[in-house]
């Protein structure tokens, strides 16, 4: 009886350690995927005066961490290679979905609610060849996630049998390296495409501020595109915050809204190259929009802030 109790105690202790290590394994997977896919993006956006730089990272982290912890725990619990591949394959699909849809769907949805004044110029088109985008994102993310799932039980068993510190940490180190590479592929293929216009425009505005009212060599001025910020005059000297507000279906033509302490400018880029900037008037707020009636029945000229009400226009024609 004592032998059975001792054996049962050992088995329970081993199972507990295995479960704890699998949870840490999944936690590391979700954490470092999120840091690589969106955390680095948030840090860069903070440096380049972006509005809400952590807008993608925080919700991604809240979704990825519990999902990956669950995947790690279930893989170790079932101890079945095929089930593990299915679980981590599902996790790869979730990660890919977030990589594509956080910048394309969630960001404009959230901006439209917290900043209704930009609603008239907020336009994120559906991606052309969305299936191709899914393939290119899912391929590297899927391979790395499946690799993590395939190695999890092997690495955990080796770690529990090891007496060295390095051996105990080996599953976490391997998982960290694989999922960091996975997240970086997501950033490179998708997240960075939505970051580049902000980086380009902020760099342009900073150059305009640095060389404001200074003589600059023509070739150097052309290289820095200084003529593009000339219409903004001394606005470039003020503090600014940048928001991506318009993306076409090819991720080629994008527009960045720049807020200079109440004054607004809209800067255009084509394939991450600045083309021109223009000062625009403030947009309608929610109260003004409601006072004018149904939003779909009005057209707004964002440059002159004029209103063309289609109902009134139709009635005039009828008379």
Q: Are residues 187 and 313 in the same domain?
A: no
Q: Are residues 50 and 152 in the same domain?
A: yes
Of 52-61, 168-177, 289-298, give the lowest mean pLDDT range.
Answer: 289-298
In a domain, 66, yes or no: yes
In a domain, 234, yes or no: no
Of 21 and 318, more confident: 21
- Mean pLDDT across the stretch 145-169? 92
> What pLDDT is recorded for position 7?
58
Q: Which of 194, 225, 258 is the last residue of a domain?
A: 194
Q: Which of 134, 159, 194 is the last residue of a domain?
A: 194
Q: Are residues 10 and 120 in the same domain?
A: yes
Residue 312 has pLDDT above 50, yes or no: no
Residue 61 has pLDDT above 70, yes or no: yes
Q: Are residues 181 and 53 in the same domain?
A: yes
Q: Are residues 175 and 290 in the same domain?
A: no
In a domain, 299, yes or no: yes
In a domain, 62, yes or no: yes
**Distance, CA of 190 to CA of 31 (rounded, Å):** 19
In a domain, 226, yes or no: no
Q: Which of 194, 227, 250 is the last residue of a domain?
A: 194
Could you give the number of structural domains in the chain? 2
Residues 245/197, Cβ–Cβ less than 8 Å:
no
Task: Label the pairing between strands 306-309 and 263-270.
Answer: unpaired
3-state secondary structure of 242: strand
Q: Are residues 13 and 137 in the same domain?
A: yes
SS (H, E, C) 158-227: HHHHCCCHHHHHHHHHHHHHHHHHHHHHHHHHHHHHHHHHHHHHHHHHHHHHHCCCCCCCHHHHHHHCHH
Q: Are residues 189 and 300 in the same domain?
A: no
Q: Are residues 18 and 119 in the same domain?
A: yes
* Residue range(s) defining the domain that contains residue 302: 286-318
- Cβ neighbours of residue 242 under 8 Å, at least 6 residues apart? 48, 49, 50, 51, 198, 201, 202, 256, 257, 258, 259
- Mean pLDDT across the stretch 176-188? 97
Torsion angles phi and psi, residue 244, rounded to 5: -75, 120
Of 5-9, 55-59, 175-179, give the lowest mean pLDDT range.
Answer: 5-9
Of 282 and 236, more confident: 236
Q: Are residues 176 and 30 in the same domain?
A: yes
Residue 15 has pLDDT above 90, yes or no: no
In a domain, 260, yes or no: no
Q: Are residues 159 and 294 in the same domain?
A: no
In a domain, 138, yes or no: yes
pLDDT digits (tens, 9 = 90+) for 115-132: 888 888 999 999 999 999
Global pTM?
A: 0.84
In a domain, 51, yes or no: yes
């Amino acid at each position: 009886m004592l032998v059975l109790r001792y054996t049962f105690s050992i088995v329970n202790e081993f199972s507990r350690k295995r479960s704890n290590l699998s949870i840490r394994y999944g936690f590391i997977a979700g954490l470092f995927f999120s840091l690589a896919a969106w955390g680095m993006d948030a840090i860069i956006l903070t440096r380049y005066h972006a509005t809400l730089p952590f807008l993608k990272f925080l919700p991604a982290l809240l979704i990825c961490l519990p999902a990956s912890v669950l995947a790690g725990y279930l893989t170790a619990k079932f101890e079945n290679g095929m089930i593990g591949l299915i679980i981590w394959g599902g996790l790869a699909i979730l990660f890919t979905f977030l990589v594509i849809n956080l910048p394309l769907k969630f960001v404009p949805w959230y901006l439209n609610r917290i900043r209704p004044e930009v609603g008239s110029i907020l336009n994120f088109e559906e991606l052309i060849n969305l299936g191709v985008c899914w393939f290119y994102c899912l391929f590297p993310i899927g391979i790395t996630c499946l690799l993590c799932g395939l190695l999890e039980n092997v690495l955990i068993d080796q770690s529990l049998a090891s007496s060295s510190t390095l051996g105990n940490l080996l599953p976490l180190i391997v998982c960290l390296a694989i999922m960091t590479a996975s997240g970086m592929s997501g950033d490179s293929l998708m997240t960075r495409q939505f970051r580049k216009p902000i980086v380009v425009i902020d760099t342009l505005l900073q150059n305009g501020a640095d060389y404001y009212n200074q003589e600059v060599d023509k070739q150097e001025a052309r290289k820095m595109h200084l003529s593009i910020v000339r219409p903004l005059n001394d606005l470039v000297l003020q503090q600014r915050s940048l928001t991506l507000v318009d993306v076409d279906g090819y991720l080629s033509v994008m527009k960045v809204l720049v807020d200079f302490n109440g004054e607004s400018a809209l800067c255009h880029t084509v394939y991450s190259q600045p083309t021109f900037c223009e000062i625009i008037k403030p947009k309608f707020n929610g109260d003004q929009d409601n006072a004018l009636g149904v939003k779909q029945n009005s057209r707004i000229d964002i440059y002159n802030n004029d209103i063309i009400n289609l109902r009134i226009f139709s009635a005039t024609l009828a008379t």
